[in-house]
Structure 1
Amino acid sequence: MSSKMDRRKQYTRMVLKKSLMELLQEKSISSITIKEICEKADINRSTYYAHFANQYELLNSIEEEFIEDLVGTLTQYNMAKEDGSLQMTEKFFEFIAENSEVCETLLSENTDIHFQKKGMMITRQYIFKDWITDMKMDEETYEYINLFIVSGSIYVTKNWLENGQNKTPKEMAEILNNFINKGLSNMR
């Protein structure tokens, strides 16, 4: 009976997440009500509240699941070596492409800024963590450079999704990797 309950809980959470994601394609998280989510998911409010306190907690659950999957992908690659960097960046874009609908919605104007901030923290943790020691960079300079590269990468990814993934993950990885490692002078 316990596994049956687990499956029911999993199904309910899946339906709630799907319903919120559909609503986020139409309107902002702040204007979505629990009633709307419940109607779309065809469940009652008490069932909703058994799983989540509000729409923001549900959104956070979706973001955490996405980030957990992304981290699982990123931990497979070593960013210290340039070849590993390119391969990891390509795998990042492949992951984004495979999850494009979710990613595009989470990066849209209809959600909150927390997802982008979480993305910045993950990128810092998994991609740029050794820069400060490898490049003998002071903490303040590192913060500025990291902020520039990570926020730029997020908006490049967002634009790529909005443009229908008009370049392959490999092409996007090469563009970003060349810019990050060699700067603008090598982009000619």
Structure 2
Amino acid sequence: MGTGIKTDRRILRTREAINRAFLELFAEKELEQITINEIAERANVNRGTVYLHYTDKYDLLNRCIEEHLGTMFLSCNMTRTPDGDVGLIREMKPVFRYFEQNFLFFSAMLANQRTTIFRERLLEIVSANVIHKLETKKSVPEEMDKQLIAHFMASAFVGTVEWWIQNRMPHTPEEMAQQVRRLFEGNTIL
């Protein structure tokens, strides 16, 4: 039984090393320029080990994005509050703290001009959360398109996060959370 735990920890450490190496390279250059050999060398593993965990660099990118977005929303208390509110809008501090703690990942994803996959997925997730909130609200005027409202709010949030990260986080996560929350609360629809 102890061997299983050691194996799991080694696998996790190896994946973390591969992910970190990939993100460091991704922050330095375009995805097309990164090779599996460079990732393996920087992670201090052999090329076969990278392929043992990922089919190619695109699989590594996709799984890295999925893991971070999934972890972000789970760890940021994305549960619904008793009044039906969605955690992302109500509790911004954990979201911005997660961005700060994972600066390497988010700065690499948002700085790389050719990779829109991450931004699109983040927009989808935030938009889905806003749509859910709008569906629980009775104050949304019938003539307003909920999809349009959700996209507007999600774009504002993602754009703000992009600005914050690309400017090397000039405000603390708490300050960002407070200001973004006030902007969202100022929206009469939400």
Letter in 2 for 1:129: H
Structure 1 partner of 2:17? 15
> What is the one-letter code of the residue matched to 2:120?
K
User: Normalising to structure 2: TM-score of the pair?
Assistant: 0.81
> What is the rounded CA distance, in whole Å, between the counterparts of 1:60 and 1:109 in structure 2?
14
Query: Match of 1:177?
Result: 181
1:39-78 equivalence runs, <5 A: 39-72=41-74, 73-76=76-79, 78=81
Query: Structure 1 residues 138 and 61 mapped into 2: Cα distance closer, same or farther (>3 Å)?
Result: farther
Contact 1:29/1:110 (8 A) holds in 2: no
2:36 maps to what in 1? Answer: 34
Name the structure 1 match of 2:116.
Answer: 113
TM-score (norm 1): 0.82
**Secondary structure in 2 matching 1:38:** helix
Q: 92-101 or 48-57: which moved more?
A: 92-101
Cα distance in 2 for residues equivalent to 1:52 and 1:131: 38
Write the distance in 1 (CA, Å) between the matches of 2:59 and 2:95: 26
Contact 2:111 2:166 in 1 (8 A): no
Instruction: Structure 2: state its 5+ residue gaps.
Output: none
Matches of 1:170 and 1:41 in 2, distance apart?
33
Q: Stretches of 4+ moved more than 4 A in 1? A: 79-82, 84-87, 137-140
Partner of 1:94: helix, strand, or coil?
helix
Q: Alignment length, in residue pairs?
A: 183
- CA RMSD, Structure 1 to Structure 2 (Å): 2.8
Which shifted more, 19-28 or 99-108? 99-108
Report the Cα distance in structure 2 between the residues aligned to 1:60 and 1:137, rounded to whole angstroms: 38
Change in CA separation of 1:123 and 1:22 when aligned onto 2, cut-off 3 Å: same
SS state of the match for residue 115, structure 2? coil
1:90 aligns with 2:85: no
Partner residue of 1:151? Answer: 155
SS of residue in 1 equivalent to 2:122:
helix
Counterparts of 2:13 and 2:177, CA distance in 1: 36
Letter in 2 for 1:96: F
Q: In structure 1, give the amino acid aligned to 2:97.
A: E
Structure 1 residue runs of 5 or longer lacking an equivalent are: none
Could you tell me how far 1:162 is from its partner in structure 2?
Answer: 2.1
1:164 to 162, 168, 172: 168
**For 2:41 and 2:163, how far apart are their aligned partners in 1?**
32
Question: Whole-Å Cα distance in 2 between the matches of residues 139 and 102 of structure 1?
Answer: 39
Contact 1:19–1:37 (CA under 8 A) maintained in structure 2: yes
1:139-181 Cα offsets, whole Å, 9 max, x none, are 9711112112111211111111222322232332233223223
Residues 178, 7 of structure 1: CA spacing in aligned structure 2 closer, same or farther, 3 A cutoff? closer
Identity %: 25
